[in-house]
Structure 1
Amino acid sequence: MAVRLDKMQASYSGNIEIGIANFDVENGEVLTIGGLVDGHREAVIAATPTDVTLDKILLAASPEIVYEKEKHNILDFVNKKGEKIRLYHHAVGNTVTVTDNLIDGTSVKGQYLIPVNGSSKLKAVADLSDNTRFAAKVLEKVRIYGEPATRYKVEKH
């Protein structure tokens, strides 16, 4: 549903990729680079992870432009299949808040979020025994846009 970039190494320029996915992507989902897009000089294929022990995990967070005439609100925003998506590289220490619908399971303060092969959602886990390349620690449970959300800090990328 929604994402808030609390503290990112590159918020407007720098460590950002332009991705194109063959499925709809909500802001706050996590993806990886699946190769280059034919016919696009700088676009990459935005894909779900296939090997979370090796894959670099990126965060989908495009500007949430919702046109008033469509009678939608910011929670209705989706990056449509085949359209460009802004993908952020994570850095250790970055903090991000995502609505809880973008997390598989129930996040708990002090526990962790990790990627899962074949999924664009982070999974809530009690410890880091899964040996994933990316991991984030749950800092707090909050609300954004009135929805339950989780604020996390990147521990490893």
Structure 2
Amino acid sequence: MSVRLDKMQATYSGNIESVLLNVDLENGAITTIGGLVDGKREVVHGATPVNVSAEEVLLVASPEIVYESDKHNILDFVNKAGKPARAYHYAVGDTVTITDNMITGTSVKNQYLIPENGSAKLKAVATLTDTTRFAAQVLEKVKLYGEPATRYKVLKH
């Protein structure tokens, strides 16, 4: 669905990657990065996390451009497989809002979001363990473009 970059260091410092996705992903999804794409100077391969205890996850958030506004709206935007997408490196303290369809389970204020192996979505959990490199705390439940959404703050990356 959608994402809002409330306060992200990467939007100011330019810590952004161009990732070539192997599957269609909505904004608000997460990805990991692999090596450079052959023949491309600054495009890296994006992939679904397979080892969340060690891999860095990035936030997929490309500009939401809708070309046929009479047929589609911003909520229909999808980053297409085989095309470069924008992905942001997280920093501790970043705050982001994503629509709830990008979360596995139900997020609850003051609980947490973590990545899980094999998924491009963050997972809602009640308590944290040291099994993931990334963790975020749910700040509040809100609406984003009229859809249920979760605002979170990055605790570790």
Q: Which residue of 1 aligns with 2:109?
A: 109
Q: Which residue of 1 aligns with 2:4?
A: 4
**Worse overlay, 94-103 or 67-76:** 67-76
How far apart in 1 are the matches of 2:131 and 2:148?
A: 28
* Residue 41 of structure 1, CA deviation: 1.1
Map 1:82-93 → 2, pairs under 5 A: 82-93=82-93
After TM superposition, the score normalised by the length of structure 1 is 0.96
Q: Structure 1 unaligned segments of length 5 or more: list them.
A: none
Q: Which residue of 1 aligns with 2:156?
A: 156
Q: Give structure 1 regions of 4+ aligned residues with deviation exceeding 6 angstroms.
A: none
Q: 1:105 is aligned with what amino acid?
A: G
Q: 1:31 is aligned with what amino acid?
A: T
Alpha-carbon spacing, 1:70–1:45, altered in 2? closer, same or farther (3 Å) = farther
How far apart in 2 are the matches of 1:137 and 1:109?
A: 8
How far apart in 1 are the matches of 2:103 and 2:65?
A: 23
**Worse overlay, 127-136 or 65-74:** 65-74
* Residue 70 of structure 1, CA deviation: 5.6
How far apart in 2 are the matches of 1:69 and 1:144?
A: 19
Computed over aligned residues only, the root mean square deviation of the Cα atoms, in angstroms, reads 1.2
How far apart in 1 are the matches of 2:99 and 2:42?
A: 30
Q: Which residue of 1 aligns with 2:57?
A: 57
- Percent of residue pairs bearing the same amino acid type: 71
After TM superposition, the score normalised by the length of structure 2 is 0.96
Map 1:71-150 → 2, pairs under 5 A: 71-129=71-129, 131-150=131-150
**Worse overlay, 60-69 or 147-156:** 60-69
Q: Which residue of 2 aligns with 1:24?
A: 24
* Residue 10 of structure 1, CA deviation: 1.8
How far apart in 1 are the matches of 2:94 and 2:13?
A: 15
Q: Structure 2 unaligned segments of length 5 or more: list them.
A: none
* Residue 71 of structure 1, CA deviation: 1.4
* Residue 34 of structure 1, CA deviation: 2.2
